[in-house]
Amino acid sequence: MERLNNDFVMTGLSFLSTLFVSAVGVGVLIVIILFISDVMQTKDAVRKNYPVLGRFRYLFSTLGEFFRQYFFAMDREEMPFNRAEREWVEKAAKNHDNTVAFGSTKSLTPPGTAIFVNCPFPTLDEDAVEMQPLEIGPYCRHPYNAPSFFNISGMSYGALSTPAVRALSNGARMAGCWMNTGEGGLSPYHLEGGADIVMQIGTAKYGVRDKAGNLSDKKLKEVAAHKQVKMFELKMSQGAKPGKGGILPAVKVTGEIAAIRGIPEGEDSISPNRHPEIDNIGEMLDMINHIRDVTGKPVGFKAVVGAFGWVETLCEEIHKRGVKSAPDFFTIDSGDGGTGAAPMPLMDNVGLTVKESLPLVSDILHKHNLRDRIRIITSGKLVTPSEVAWAIASGADFVTSARGFMFSLGCIQALKCNKNTCPTGITTHNKHLQKGLNPEDKAVKVANYCHNMVHEVQVISHSCGVSRPRLMGRKHIRIVQDNGKSVPMDVLYPRPEILSEYQENTQKIA
């Protein structure tokens, strides 16, 4: 028996030895093949000069994003959203305690930092006022009383997966906020949750186009017939890619998406870089008024502000035509806004950030006595309560967020939105990856995020001594300067005097 055991052990060792030698041999063969391949190729200098070893450079570069996010970046360092911001959204979405201990990790000394001015006698909880609906489109056949100041920004079905859209739609209904379709058209999944919908019309007119790609009144009426569709947003430009149309890779253009958008299946879906039929302010107003006449619902436009003289021209043209001709809202997108795919030069360096453009546009509308006529919606990296509160105090009526709600769905900022390989199932049409996203569970987190955002913005407003957020103004904010001292925002951005001639015209028309 002992001899049999020894023979068995020796046989096992011999097998393992043979297996090891074979593995080494295969490994050596692979290295030789890679060496020859690297030496023979002429497209990559690093691999040619450092055969095999040069390949590790690309491996480490690829893994760099992972290591920076989880091991090396400090809580407030990472871009585009740091760990502290993402963790706040994650806890808000899960309805977990969002208090912190020991002290803030946010530096309040960098120039441009906004500091809210607390009141020595803050608003008591029993004196606080619940969020009030705000009317948009007073001259429409079907005005919209928007219930929430925080809403879901435009994200197209196609760029987002089916379970992601389902979760957002149901979550928006539960939270009582609206959901913007993005330029990809109205899908059944936007409607099935029962949320209020803002139908965005991009430069390709997806969902409301005829076979030639022109705006179709018939399709407009079909979309407007849905009671859930409350408004229409004409997308003029987007903060992440001003002057560039939307991009949906062919791999994401499924048969269903092609049918919803009215485009060929399996081909790259690239929108024009502007509306071909809109070349000036007058034509933009013509389009807005036409859509409003056809649908009977509020119509506004979305744009990122760079040059701003055209906003003055817009106001002047409105007064020539009458205030009823004005857009019902202006969605100001930030130059640092996000998207699934955009050229880096446009993403990085084109368009003003909302920190500059929002006060600027608000003041121009105020000067021309149109501030109450045109509601201001703003978006762009506003994912935490302090940022949303700043926007409202600076002049916004509503704030929308796309990436904030993506984080509530479970986005981990993998930066793979344009690759169809999103590991959380949010921006992919890979069925296997989509299985990780449970729409029922995520809808609750979407609603939690919205509810907690509204609550904590209210907390800030009560600290400033007002009963509700929309009563905050620029006097409630101080902006840190280069010398380290802060200056009241209403000193940096004083309200201009209303132009009397426009005031008189408005009174005559009324």
Tens-binned pLDDT, residue by residue, of the chain (510 aa):
555 455 555 566 666 677 667 777 777 788 888 888 888 887 776 677 778 877 776 666 665 555 555 555 555 566 677 777 888 888 888 888 877 777 777 888 889 999 999 999 899 888 888 889 999 999 999 999 999 999 999 998 888 889 999 999 999 999 999 999 999 899 999 999 999 999 999 999 999 999 888 999 999 999 999 999 999 999 998 765 565 676 777 877 888 888 888 888 888 877 888 889 999 999 999 999 999 999 999 999 999 898 889 999 999 999 999 999 999 999 999 877 666 556 666 555 677 889 999 999 999 999 999 999 999 999 988 999 999 999 999 999 999 998 889 889 888 787 777 777 888 888 887 888 888 788 999 999 999 999 999 999 999 999 999 999 999 999 999 999 999 899 999 999 888 888 755 555 545 544
Q: With 0-12 CB in 10 A as exposed, 13-18 as middle and 19+ as buried, what is 103?
A: exposed
CATH number for region 125-509: 3.20.20.70
Q: What is the pLDDT, as a whole number, of residue 460?
A: 94
- H helix or E strand, kind and range, residue 146: strand 144-146
What is the residue extent of each domain of the chain? 2-72, 125-509
Closest residue by Cα to residue 289 from 332, 246, 232, 206: 232
Work out the end-to-end distance of the chain between its first and last CA atoms, rounded to an integer number of angstroms.
109
Give Cβ neighbours of residue 184 (< 8 Å, ≥ 6 apart): 156, 157, 158, 159, 202, 206, 207, 246, 248, 257, 260, 261
What is the four-CA torsion angle of 380, 383, 388, 389, rounded to 10 degrees?
A: -140
- H helix or E strand, kind and range, residue 289: helix 281-295
* 423 preceded by a cis bond (ω within 30 of 0): no
Q: With 0-12 CB in 10 A as exposed, 13-18 as middle and 19+ as buried, what is 448?
A: buried
Quickly count: other Cβ atoms within 10 Å of residue 27's Cβ.
10
